[in-house]
Amino acid sequence: MKHRLENNNILITGGAGFIGSALCEYFLAQDNNVVCLDNFLTGHRSNIEPFIANKNFHFIEGDIRDPEICRKAMDGVDYVFHQAALGSVPRSIENPARTNEININGSLNMLIAARDARVKRFVYASSSSVYGDAPGLPKVEDAIGEPLSPYAVTKLVNEKYARVFSDIYDIETVGLRYFNVFGRRQDPNGAYAAVIPKWVKLMIEHERPVINGDGSYSRDFTYIENVVHANEQAALAPLPGPTPSSHTSPLTSHVYNIAFGGNTTLNELFTILRDNLTKYDPKIEKLDPVYGPKRPGDIPHSLASIEKARELLGYQPQYDAQAGFAKACEWYWENLK
């Protein structure tokens, strides 16, 4: 099986975002022509500034809610990496209609445009949030529960639409259920910032982060380089046939967990980040967390089985969480202080 995606025409939606810009950077380095579609709702121009002078990089400022923009961006494309979405469980609880409009209607526009352009494969970002209230650990692709937030509902609907499009229109789709991705360029600002960049920024500023709940909730934190690798493998790996294997079901035959396969409690995360940052500033060692109320819609524990992705995609995560935490802290120290 081919292991590198080279000399192709690639579309990355949400390419000015955290994960999208990492994909742009990686695929440009492998001599692909990269089209980046973003409306800067959550992405940033600064994330794509290093690529602007690259003759193989093409930027379209536009919204996936606009079908015409989707068709324009899809022209001549071989592979699609659909990352554009309105993230955050709390944001979806505050404004479910907007989350639905972007994540479901926008993704449907992308699927239609990809079908009409006859792309080779449509790889899209799903989420560990689809597991909802399923009690079992580790999370296995064909054992999901009821979603606990509007955001989780939208990601589950995306998976169902992708499966239907594969079945009816013969378009190859692969969904990647991301588990708490973190790393360079993840935005630390705003009310809906992810926990790692938010805490790191606060600690660099000698402020105490807030832990929602008692800190016992745990997450399978996944470093960005593992996610980039997973997207490439998802574009290249042979897809399983129509008869489900022991790892698949009709619902999830082309959906895979993307994680490291270990979990870290929020209390442990705080200590690890503090210890890493103390290397740069000894004053940070004296910081302690503040404990606040639990957030509605939060899943208590998240731990992925990555056996299906290993077996069928050839996914081999290169960074464990500890190595990723160290690299992320180094990047934020250099870029935020």
Among 151, 178, 217, 319, the active-site one is 151
Residue 151 among the catalytic residues: yes
What is the β-pairing status of strands 264-265 and 181-182?
unpaired
Buried b (16+ CB within 10 A) or exposed e, 257-292: bbbbbbbbbbbebbebbbebbbeeeeebeebebeee
The DSSP symbol for 147 reads: -
Q: What's the CA gap between 320 and 222, in Å, rounded? A: 8
Cite the DSSP H helix spans in the chain. 18-28, 45-48, 67-73, 89-94, 96-100, 107-117, 150-169, 195-204, 224-236, 266-278, 307-313, 321-336
Tell me if the bond preceding 138 is cis, omega within 30° of 0: yes
Question: DSSP state, 49?
Answer: G
Q: CA–CA separation, 309 vs 141, rounded Å?
A: 10
Instruction: Give the span between the Cα atoms of 178 and 230, in whole angstroms.
Output: 10
Which has the closest alpha carbon to 206: 102, 304, 120, 287?
287
For 171, how many CA atoms within 13 A lie in the half-sphere containing its CB? Answer: 26
Single out the residue of 308, 310, 299 nearest to residue 263, CA to CA: 299
Tokens describing residue 73: 């961006």
Q: Are 266 and 216 in contact (CB under 8 A)?
A: yes
Catalytic residue positions? 151
